[in-house]
Chains A and B, each alone.
Chain A
Amino acid sequence: MTALLAVEHLSKHFGGLTAAKDVSFELQPGEITGILGPNGAGKTTLFNLLTGFISADGGVVEFEGHSLVGLGPHRIVNLGLARTFQLCRPFLGMTVLENVTVACLAPRVREERGTELRARRILDQVGLSAKTEILVDVLPYGDLRRLEIARALATKPKLLLLDEPFAGLGVGEIEPLLALIRKLHAEEGLTILIIEHKLRELMQLVTRVIAMDFGEIIAVGAPREIVRDPRVVEAYIGHSESVHGVA
């Protein structure tokens, strides 16, 4: 099986800060992979590197055998690699339908007839069909999350990067979103890479976890193994000796 996404020796520095250091991993088609790591571990930077929002200092990213190095964000999306943002970024002053229509106009999917019809179908899929004509400015946060995912889906991605999709959601909103992501994976065969702090949700969803700290991958494995991995525990809770030292 050839990898959908292959990342090799990816690195990025911001001045003296190492945001990504020799990051290498592969994603197989149809896989759901989680990225775990404390704040500042370089998870979102990794997403920004993969999607072309910032350019790497070195390394190779290959998507379906095409190199993504040097491509701008919109070019990468049109190859089939879409993302959502950690903080929702709706187009204010526009309706829910218009927000999704924008992504339906991306060159990758534009040829298809009936842009508006497609946008409506996607909104139906994520459960926003009752709110198509509402201005996004007044949408509750849970719906904005769905909108964010709808906009990424509209570009017909093969690989979807979700940046903390459960952040800021209430208890009642998490379960439906989990169901939605599972449904997308089951029905569309979507490959998903997901950053999440909410461990319980992440562990339910993923088959494999990549743990990061200080811009480096510190462990890769099944969810059960990874939470017991001493390096991961140390990254989250601190070194056992230093804990004793403080005490």
Chain B
Amino acid sequence: MNIPNKARIGGLAALAFFALVPLVTQSDYFIGVLTVCFIYGIWATSWDFMSGLTGRENFGHALFIGAGAYTAAFLGSRFNVNPWWGLPTGAFAAVVCGVIVGVPTLRLKGPYFALATFAAAAIAQRSTRIFWEYTGGEEGIPGLSPLIGSHLAYYYFCLGALVVTTIVLLVLARSSWGILLRAIRGDEAACQAAGINIAFYKIVSLVISAAFAGVGGVLYADYQLAVTPDVFSVVLSITIMIMVYVGGMGTIYGPVGGAILLALLPEMLRAFGEYRLWVYSLVLIFILFFAPGGLIAPICRRIVGVRR
């Protein structure tokens, strides 16, 4: 992978900045906000790996997030399993969901994949209420034991998880695998005519995307020490998609920036008091209107001076 030096330096500078933030601020609250930002970063970049690169939009990323979060919480609260087991089992549960949704729908042309992901997440959210004996219904599962006791250590752990996720997905996206995903986005029939099994590549990419989203879901559950049906919500899925659009679709690193920016925005707008949501929406509309190709990635490209 050849990355311009400026891009390397930029990435390291961003990493150093977030690594040093805890030295400047003493606010436990702000550390918590940033921890959630990193988790959103994992969700956004994992969405981008499948949907951004292939152009097949997943409207139910929350399905994978919720599957991860609920699996970890369920095992932890019912069977008192060591919380670290939550990470692999949560990822596995998300992968299973990815296979169930992806295999029947990604072979078809048309809107079936988008509709199926949307519906699957809604069904999962409903199920948490139907099977309330196991999922705790509307209340969810509270009182989880923490993965890491110290908030500061957890901050660094989530930052590390985001960095690993981003690097792994970036390497994949810049490899021949990524070329094929972008070709699928360009023209599926032409891909088939070039001898590529497009269903295979789309399904495996969805599974990879789901695995990382599931890990993010586990991290979120362990941050809140509780899960609620909201982790399956449409609002969460759409929020993640907006973060990717603002970051720059198909770039992997852009959505990380978009996620951190949009997750921080409500905090930055505190001065507006009760008009906060209003201003937030306005800012969002302006970004989407004036930067349809995204905000973060195009700016990065301009600075580094590359096309991609």
Contacts from A to B (Cβ < 8 Å): 51, 53, 72-74, 77-78, 82-85, 89-94, 98-99, 101-103, 105-109, 115, 151-152, 154-155
B contact residues around A83 at 8 Å (CB): 193
A-B contact pairs, 13 of them (CB 8 A): A72-B192, A77-B192, A77-B193, A77-B194, A85-B190, A91-B190, A92-B186, A93-B182, A94-B183, A102-B180, A102-B191, A103-B195, A115-B176
A contact residues around B176 at 8 Å (CB): 101, 105, 115
A102 and B194 within 8 A (CB): yes
A89 and B189 within 8 A (CB): yes
B198 at the interface (CB under 8 A from A): yes
B residues 227-271 in Cβ contact with A at 8 Å? none
B179 and A155 within 8 A (CB): no
A101 and B193 within 8 A (CB): no
CB distance from B2 to the nearest CB of A (A): 12
B80 at the interface (CB under 8 A from A): no
A105 and B186 within 8 A (CB): no
B residues 196-226 in Cβ contact with A at 8 Å? 196-198
B195 and A74 within 8 A (CB): yes
Q: What 4 A-B pairs come out closest when comparing CB atoms? A: A106-B195, A91-B186, A77-B195, A103-B194
State the CA gap A115–B191 with chains docked (Å): 17
Neighbour of A107 across the interface among B179, B186, B195, B198, CB < 8 A: B195
B187 at the interface (CB under 8 A from A): yes
CB distance from A51 to the nearest CB of B (A): 7
B189 and A102 within 8 A (CB): no
CB distance from A118 to the nearest CB of B (A): 12
* Residue of A with least CB distance to B193: A83
Q: Mark B151-188, 1 if CB is under 8 A from A, else 0.
A: 00000000000000000000000001001101101110
* Residue of A with least CB distance to B107: A72
CB distance from B48 to the nearest CB of A (A): 15
CB distance from A75 to the nearest CB of B (A): 8
CB distance from B293 to the nearest CB of A (A): 11
State the CA gap A128–B187 with chains docked (Å): 21
A53 and B189 within 8 A (CB): yes
A151 and B194 within 8 A (CB): yes
State the CA gap A82–B195 with chains docked (Å): 8
A contact residues around B189 at 8 Å (CB): 53, 73, 85, 89
State the CA gap A213–B138 with chains docked (Å): 66
B198 and A94 within 8 A (CB): no
Neighbour of A91 across the interface among B183, B192, B195, B198, CB < 8 A: B183
Neighbour of B194 across the interface among A53, A92, A94, A106, CB < 8 A: A106
* Residue of B with least CB distance to A105: B176
* Residue of B with least CB distance to A161: B193
A53 and B195 within 8 A (CB): no
B contact residues around A155 at 8 Å (CB): 194-195
State the CA gap A106–B179 with chains docked (Å): 12
State the CA gap A151–B183 with chains docked (Å): 12
B196 and A102 within 8 A (CB): yes
B193 and A85 within 8 A (CB): yes
CB distance from B228 to the nearest CB of A (A): 40
* Residue of A with least CB distance to B190: A89
A contact residues around B194 at 8 Å (CB): 77, 102-103, 106, 151-152, 154-155
A contact residues around B182 at 8 Å (CB): 91, 93-94, 98
State the CA gap A175–B216 with chains docked (Å): 58
A94 and B186 within 8 A (CB): yes
B contact residues around A106 at 8 Å (CB): 194-196
B193 and A98 within 8 A (CB): no
Neighbour of B195 across the interface among A78, A92, A94, CB < 8 A: A78
Q: A98-B179, A102-B191, A105-B180 are in contact. Are A90 and B196 (CB under 8 A)?
A: no
A102 and B192 within 8 A (CB): no
B193 and A152 within 8 A (CB): yes
A102 and B193 within 8 A (CB): no
Q: A74-B198, A89-B187 are in contact. Are A94 and B179 (CB under 8 A)?
A: yes
Q: A74-B198, A101-B176, A105-B176 are in contact. Are A51 and B183 (CB under 8 A)?
A: no
B contact residues around A82 at 8 Å (CB): 193, 195
* Residue of B with least CB distance to A79: B195
B contact residues around A51 at 8 Å (CB): 193
State the CA gap A82–B179 with chains docked (Å): 20
A73 and B186 within 8 A (CB): no
State the CA gap A108–B194 with chains docked (Å): 10
State the CA gap A107–B191 with chains docked (Å): 13
A contact residues around B195 at 8 Å (CB): 74, 77-78, 82, 103, 106-109, 155
B contact residues around A90 at 8 Å (CB): 186-187, 190
Of B187, B192, B195, B197, chain A has the most CB atoms within 10 Å of the CB of B195
